[in-house]
Structure 1
């Protein structure tokens, strides 16, 4: 078993050089997954926004990160052109007769970029930033989504958005064969539309506007920062802030989401192919 097929994952870093916990979260998930399934798995990080680095089609799966700033202002930039050229190539590959389909998981900023690219909804600044450990509600389609398997309804995850995609164009989603999987928590006391929180773009592309890679360690560091603490208190109140700190210790909240969603994606993207190769 020393000549196991190498599995290569590309991580598209859209953080533009800004310090973050997301990239560590992705690496931790991949390292745990590699050990759990005894895989010859490697990953490579591409600095998409800062250095306009974009991988080719030689990877088995792709994870595209969140990132700071406006998902509108990058239109026409060199890095974004390269990014969408890659997505066009991946789509064409997946529509071809090739057996090794290329799965992509898009997170937050990447979700917003792709929604703009496909024309799926209205993109704009939130009235105030959303930051914290918050519930996300599945649609009926979301309850049947394999990547959500094992999650509760609602499930808890890290939401960190100044920008958002709202008012889904359901006709466009239908035309493109896409499925809305999850929505922002209900806010009956606020007369504002609920953001789209997860979409399956195709059999091989799935996206979330939240951060399934986030873990309790990174979130605790962020929530203890004075600016983030005030952000949460201003938006949700001090009681909610304390509740979020308590949720960090709850194995059924973000710890469960982090250990479930991206691993489910990897099962779909690479593990089933390994099983086919092994003749299981």
Structure 2
């Protein structure tokens, strides 16, 4: 494998030191990808919110994680530095460089990017969303290379207290961004549907759900007494039992985990090879 060109991935950890399953999910996906494709891929984790660690531009592609708390954090030092990196990546991608640097933004990171581009209203939900929920494509979102192989709807782990709703259509048009997917329709609830995936530009894409999540991590959450009570209090016991059943369905979140991030890696690495 040493004769293959090295592909360097930067993972920005926005969990702020809070215990999570996300970082394990990224590690497992990258290990599987490396083995399956016999690729010389390496990755480094940057503890961005807790320690203000950020990668430089020497990496080939970037993944920015979910995380807890308020995405309206523009006055915090790490947030300012985070967007200095985004500025630098955008400048790099706009230049004459043959290769381009792709970046995937997940949940909290997705909300930060929506704030940056003023793409919608960012607000606290009435109650946290947690579960394995259907996500619906819009406007040809299913044809985006990152979503290739996913059904409509597909299932993903949704875990967030904040949301991006009410898309700013004029701003989408101005910067050339595109909504790819939205949350399930709830005709019995008079609430706006959250934006669940956006193609910000040719090289930046984000999801408000967790494509790295897997049944092992979700089961670890759901069987704790605190989370079980929380889900049952919020959604009822039938919905809790449905979540457990969906964990065991290989066409649900396992398929999403095996599809979306590997597609992103394929797209980013292909663009490197074509450069």
Q: Compute the displacement of 1:41 (Å).
A: 0.8
2:4 equivalent in structure 1: 4
CA contact (8 A) 1:47 1:54 kept: yes
Could you tell me how far 1:237 is from its partner in structure 2? 1.6
Q: Which residue of 2 aligns with 1:29?
A: 29
1:234: Cα distance to partner?
A: 2.6
Give distance in 2, aligned partners of 1:232 and 1:184.
Answer: 18
| Distance (Å, rounded) in 2 between the aligned partners of 1:235 and 1:171 | 36
Segments of structure 1 that go 5 or more residues without pairing to the other structure are: none
Aligned to 1:70: 70
Q: Deviations over 1:124-176 (max 9, x none)?
A: 11111000100011102212211111000000000001011111101101111
Kept after mapping to 2: 8 A contact 1:141/1:180: no
* Superposition deviation, residue 227 in structure 1: 2.0
How much does 1:224 deviate?
0.8
Q: What is residue 15 of structure 1 aligned with on the other side?
A: 15
1:144 aligns with 2:143: yes
Report the counterpart of residue 221 of structure 2 in structure 1: 222
Q: Paired residue for 2:81?
A: 82
Once residues 186 and 234 of structure 1 are traced to their aligned partners in structure 2, the CA distance between those partners, rounded to angstroms, is: 22
Give the alignment of 1:202-213 within 5 angstroms. 202-213=201-212
Kindly state the Cα deviation for residue 272 of structure 1 after the two structures are TM-superposed: 4.8
Task: Output the TM-score relative to the length of structure 2.
Answer: 0.98
* Post-superposition offset of 1:75: 1.4
**Aligned ranges 1:62-141 → 2 under 5 Å:** 62-72=62-72, 74-141=73-140
Is 1:198 aligned with 2:197?
A: yes
Q: Which residue of 2 aligns with 1:258?
A: 257
- Cα RMSD between the aligned structures? 1.1
Determine the C-alpha separation between the residues in 1 that align with 2:233 and 2:115: 29
CA deviations over 1:163-216 (Å, ceiling 9, x no partner): 111111011011110000000111111000000000000000000000000000
**Residue equivalent to 1:56:** 56
Q: Is the 8 A contact 2:100 2:272 kept in 1?
A: no
Number of matched residues?
275
**Offset from partner CA, 1:40-87 (integer Å, 9 cap, x none):** 110000000001001011001000000000111x21211011100000
Q: Report SS of the residue matched to 1:113.
A: helix
Stretches of structure 2 lacking an aligned partner (at least 5 in a row): none
Partner SS, residue 83 of structure 1 = helix
Query: Residue 263 of structure 1: CA displacement?
Result: 0.3
Between the aligned partners of 1:220 and 1:261, the Cα distance in structure 2 is 21
Q: Is this contact kept in 2: 1:128–1:162, CA < 8 A?
A: yes
Q: Measure how far apart 1:231 and its partner are.
A: 2.4
Per-residue deviation, 1:17 = 0.4
Question: Using the alignment, how far apart are the partners of 1:57 and 1:141 within structure 2?
Answer: 32
For the residue of structure 2 that corresponds to 1:153, the secondary structure is: coil
1:242 aligns with 2:241: yes
